[in-house]
Structure 1
Amino acid sequence: MYQYDHYDRLIYRERIAQYRDQVRRRLADELTEEEFLPLRLQNGLYMQRHAYMLRIAIPYGLLASKQLRMLAHIARKYDRGYGHFTTRTNIQFNWMELERTPDILEHLASVEMHSIQTSGNCIRNTTTDEFAGVAADEIVDPRPYCEIIRQWSTFHPEFIGLPRKFKIAVNGALQDRAAIAIHDIGLTILKNEQGEIGFRVAVGGGLGRTPILASVIKDFLPWQHLLTYIQAIMRVYNEHGRRDNKHKARIKILVKALGAEEFARQVEAEWADLKGNEETLTQEEFDRVAAWFAPPAYDKLDDIDPALAHPGNKAFANWLARNVKPHKVPGYAAVVLSLKKPGLPPGDATAEQMDFVADMADRYSFGELRVTHEQNLVLADVKQSELFEVWQQVKAQGLATPNIGLLTDIISCPGGDFCSLANAKSIPIATAIAERFEDLDFQHDIGEFELNISGCINACGHHHVGHIGILGVDKDGSEWYQVSLGGAQGDEAALGKIIGPSFAAAQMPEVVDRLLKVYLRERHDGERFVDTVQRLGIGPFKDFVYATPIEAGELVGEDEYA
């Protein structure tokens, strides 16, 4: 994986020294909170409901074991013993003391990590497929391109004050696992008939207040022009994006207002002056970065079926079916560690679990691991012959729930338990639904499922693209929940449709139960929940949910996570 060079180290050390002095001045009241706010946001520090929250960058979701151990140390020493992995593959710590945050940044720099550009109106963390470099269906490893974008965009003077935050995703496989359609820029790597590598460029995707799927503006961009073309897009957006209304400031609003064809024309006109300049990528520069992502020293193995060595072990078989993914190298597999054990907040990991996963990465996966945008962890290079012992160990740590891609693999933001922007809590809803449908046989019968929860319209839980999406809303000072159906990410990206009036928190498990009953009644053979919704429309689901009053159950108490 990528390692800091001399320039990285110098830049981040200077930034830490600058930030340390800013914190000193704030604590001495030499800076007002209003003056300090943009300075702390540049370093990923937010003020939440109870304390400061620090968001730490995990570029393209890739972590070395020593970096995860440092995150465990920070959780243990500076927080309350855990961290929350986000849909941007970053990690958040929710209980930060301001005076100690410069020391945390020092710790991060010692393992080549930082919190820069995890906030503010800039280019945020670039994300990609969690199986990048190992996926069986991969066309080209996207990680070198992600790193090139990271190096280019960090502290780029032209793009530190954009109209609004900006997010880029890169997919290098046949299957889109990077959710490129909901990004400001979504890049798909492909090869043309001559075998040349390039990008299909989509622009103007995003969720939030106005959910929109990205529009393709260029079918094939040669890889050498990646940065100059992105720069052309950014210049058009920087010049014409709205700054008078933050709710209409994202690039998706500009693309919609102009139309994709006109936006593309303006980008091409801007690109004409940039094409071929000094930011055009050379093979030498690409090779320099790509060298950090060379394949590890794989053993020469044959594929085996681990289940055959343990016949009749249903629990292991279930885990193999849901949490183990194909690998491009014979004899290896990628293992997803579930952070979605029913009863616990989705995406949270304790310091002890982080230390444990770091040890597992060293022992079984060449010292590396991945964070997914679906809030789980991945050991990407596990020998198939070692899967059983890996399963036994991760099961003991509560990380082997065989629910990846199933109903209880819930995506959820921290919600109103922490976030000052949230209208409602997310965690109690997620835990109540997960506990209601914990039975694995039932989950396997339901099949592939995506349930996403956001505590506010900012959609950090990606509720718009959930097969069932749940949005927390404020209703006369009370917390209520709006439900949408039919959303999807990936190759079949779609935005869900709201089924009707919102529900009280305690009604939500029963609402989900009624939606599932319609699916079980109406589905065709082999049809997923989302397929049934898209075939029938939301009408039958809506009718059944609202047909009779919904009894309110009990949820986790309001102060459970405070």
Structure 2
Amino acid sequence: MYQYNDFDTAFVKSRAAQFRDQLDRWQSGRLSEDDFRPLRLQNGWYVQRHAPMLRVAVPYGELSSAQLRVLARIAREFDAPEPEVYLKAADAQRRLGTTHLPTNSAHFTTRTNVQFNWIPLSKAADVMDLLASVDMHGIQTSGNCIRNISCDERAGVAPDEIADPRPFAELMRQWTTLHPEFAFLPRKFKIAVTGAAEDRAATDWHDVGLRLLRNELGELGFRITVGGGMGRTPMVGSVLREFLPWNHIMNYIEAVVRVYNRYGRRDNKYKARIKILVKAEGQRYIDDVEDEFREIVEHDGGPHTIPPEELARVTASFVAPAVTRSESKHAARQDAPTDNPIFMRWMQRNVALHKDPALRIVTLSFKRLGQAPGDASAGQLERLADLADRFSAGEARVTHTQNVVLPWVASDNLFALWEGARQLGLASTNVGLLTDIIACPGGDFCALANARSIPIAQALAERYQDIDELDDIGEIDVHISGCINSCGHHHSGHIGVLGVDKDGKECYQITLGGADGTAASGAAQPGKVIGPSFSAAELPDVVAAILEKYRELREYREQGRYERFIETLRRTGLDPFKAAASSARAEQEVRA
């Protein structure tokens, strides 16, 4: 992991002290609400439906065990509302038919940040000081700036990796932090980078997507896409450069953002994202970026060209750690304990190969009944830190699917790790399956949401608890968003669920055929809406009917498997699934 130097640490602590002063002036009335609002947002503090929400930056998803313990302390000591605030929120939720309002917990987001939903603003400065004590903060997790840079959670450890993207992500993090030219963009701006053959970072869905590759001469560079995004107008990024030498990546991003800053719309926030500019201008935008890039390199001397020695300095922070092998009584039977079918199933679904043959990459599932997707209690965070120390050289990583990866697990530690994960409730063997659902907090917490996401995720999870049935359905992405902003990435779900307001009632649209760009999903693309919206009560039956239609239509493939859901859908088209959804609704109406 990257180690902050003295400057980095001093900068984060001074930012926390600055925020404490701003908070004090607001509380005493010396700073107006209008003046304080942008200052708190610049530090990751929102005001949501019931209480403030803090978004903590987790650059490229990496967390140390020390950071996990501080997050656990914040969850336990600070993520608790005043009683009257909670009672009011709970009463509002009961009227909607749910009381899902967990406190003393953290939430892993789809862009690998961490959020807290109940911290009173009166305690915000103390929380920022705690975060700063382990080199964490909320800088640029909000606002019209370049946000937290996300990465493949298997960066530096994946067998299919061409080059480790983390040093480049770190260099870009340092460069973009409080950069004045990037601080007041027309709209928020998100960058994702991967160095693997498989795109596990959903790069094509970002404002800028970067993929490391080598050209025919073996030289390292980036494939660059611009203009991806979800929201009201989902778009997959357009390729601007098939190959750019690695040392010019920041010069090129500066050109991309300068042109966006110059022409991006500021009169309409719904049309202000860079994807709208790229779509409207097409080749003209690409040409302007290329002209700007040449001006930066030839006229200005390429001021942000990365020197080899600087890349080497940062790369030195990402060397593989020493990993301790197990001395447990199970150590000799780690590879194939065939007498334990539950463990074997976990090995198949949750354990991936590592570029070091002696190590494995392990995914811990944060998807279980009674707990919202991506939620982690204070106790789970503390014990996750213990597991990271014991089994993964003190490191864990948040994934964009709202799970956690331990990237440095010795193969002879797997059984002991599984036992520890089971005690935490994090050993579910549903990774990549139907109940491994992505869901935003939705209307339970978010002021922007039209409908709740978490109860829908829970209803689907309750319906599909038979692991044999889940295995039979196979790999499938279910993504749920509470509003069109698509924080739950419904556009890229094989089955996407979008909460909408219909005459003051919560309803849900279903999209089919979305993809995030992984090998199992194929090229990134948005799903298509099927039929009218459905009520929350109708939705589980409708999804069940869609899945039954898939099992009816799927074809057997070689290598002992059936077509995946997305493969059958692309072969047959949407019509059979639309009909199945309509029939399910009609049957419900008859029963009613």
Q: Same fold per TM (> 0.5)?
A: yes
TM-score normalised per structure 2: 0.91
Q: Which residue identity is paired with 1:148?
A: L
1:474 corresponds in structure 2 to 501
1:107-122 matched pairs, under 5 angstroms: 107-122=130-145
The structural deviation recorded for 1:510 is 0.6
2:588 corresponds in structure 1 to 551
2:539 to 508, 518, 523: 508
1:338-417 matched pairs, under 5 angstroms: 338-417=365-444
The structural deviation recorded for 1:305 is 10
Contact 2:399–2:405 at 8 Å: present in 1 too? yes
The structural deviation recorded for 1:300 is 10
1:86-133: CA deviation from partner (whole Å, max 9, x where unpaired): 001000000011111111111111101111000000000101110111
Does 1:84 pair with 2:111?
A: no
1:293 corresponds in structure 2 to 318
Does 1:522 pair with 2:589?
A: no
The structural deviation recorded for 1:16 is 1.7
Mark the CA change 1:330 to 1:210 in structure 2 (over 3 Å): closer, same or farther. same
The structural deviation recorded for 1:34 is 2.3
1:55-454 matched pairs, under 5 angstroms: 55-79=55-79, 80-259=103-282, 261-275=283-297, 276-298=301-323, 309-454=336-481
SS of the aligned residue for 1:490 comes to: coil
Gaps of 5+ in 2: 80-102, 557-561
Contact 1:306–1:384 at 8 Å: present in 2 too? no
1:493 to 508, 524, 536: 524
The structural deviation recorded for 1:306 is 5.8
**Matches of 1:300 and 1:110, distance apart in 2:** 31
The structural deviation recorded for 1:141 is 0.6
Contact 2:195–2:211 at 8 Å: present in 1 too? yes
SS of the aligned residue for 1:273 comes to: helix
The structural deviation recorded for 1:425 is 0.3
**Matches of 2:373 and 2:23, distance apart in 1:** 32
1:47 corresponds in structure 2 to 47
1:344-383: CA deviation from partner (whole Å, max 9, x where unpaired): 2000001111111111111111111100010000111111
Q: Which residue identity is paired with 1:56?
A: V
Contact 2:554–2:563 at 8 Å: present in 1 too? yes
**Matches of 1:498 and 1:534, distance apart in 2:** 15
Q: Which residue identity is paired with 1:411?
A: I
Q: Which residue identity is paired with 2:395?
A: E
Contact 1:72–1:354 at 8 Å: present in 2 too? yes
1:492-544: CA deviation from partner (whole Å, max 9, x where unpaired): 21110000100001111111100001100001113110111111111110011
SS of the aligned residue for 1:482 comes to: strand
Give the superposed CA RMSD: 1.5
1:233-261: CA deviation from partner (whole Å, max 9, x where unpaired): 000001100000000000000000001x2
Q: Which residue identity is paired with 2:194?
A: N
Contact 1:343–1:432 at 8 Å: present in 2 too? no
Contact 1:66–1:111 at 8 Å: present in 2 too? yes
1:537-548 matched pairs, under 5 angstroms: 537-548=573-584
1:21-60: CA deviation from partner (whole Å, max 9, x where unpaired): 2111221223332222111100100001111000000000
SS of the aligned residue for 1:370 comes to: strand
Mark the CA change 1:306 to 1:325 in structure 2 (over 3 Å): closer, same or farther. farther
Contact 1:515–1:541 at 8 Å: present in 2 too? yes
SS of the aligned residue for 1:352 comes to: helix
1:444-478: CA deviation from partner (whole Å, max 9, x where unpaired): 01111100000000000000000000000001111
**Matches of 2:452 and 2:29, distance apart in 1:** 34
Contact 1:44–1:115 at 8 Å: present in 2 too? yes
Mark the CA change 1:300 to 1:90 in structure 2 (over 3 Å): closer, same or farther. closer
Contact 2:226–2:275 at 8 Å: present in 1 too? yes
Pick which of 482-491 and 449-458 moved more.
482-491
Contact 2:227–2:238 at 8 Å: present in 1 too? yes
SS of the aligned residue for 1:336 comes to: strand
Contact 1:307–1:317 at 8 Å: present in 2 too? no
Mark the CA change 1:29 to 1:325 in structure 2 (over 3 Å): closer, same or farther. same
Contact 1:469–1:487 at 8 Å: present in 2 too? yes
Contact 2:151–2:192 at 8 Å: present in 1 too? yes
The structural deviation recorded for 1:62 is 0.3
SS of the aligned residue for 2:14 comes to: helix
The structural deviation recorded for 1:438 is 1.3
The structural deviation recorded for 1:278 is 2.4
Q: Which residue identity is paired with 2:566?
A: V
Count of paired positions: 549
Gaps of 5+ in 1: 553-562
SS of the aligned residue for 2:480 comes to: strand
Q: Which residue identity is paired with 1:551?
A: Q
Percent identity over the alignment is 56
Mark the CA change 1:307 to 1:536 in structure 2 (over 3 Å): closer, same or farther. farther
Contact 1:342–1:408 at 8 Å: present in 2 too? no
**Matches of 1:544 and 1:187, distance apart in 2:** 39
SS of the aligned residue for 2:60 comes to: helix
1:387-422: CA deviation from partner (whole Å, max 9, x where unpaired): 111111101110000000000000000000000000
Contact 2:251–2:303 at 8 Å: present in 1 too? no
The structural deviation recorded for 1:342 is 2.7
1:464 to 469, 478, 491: 491
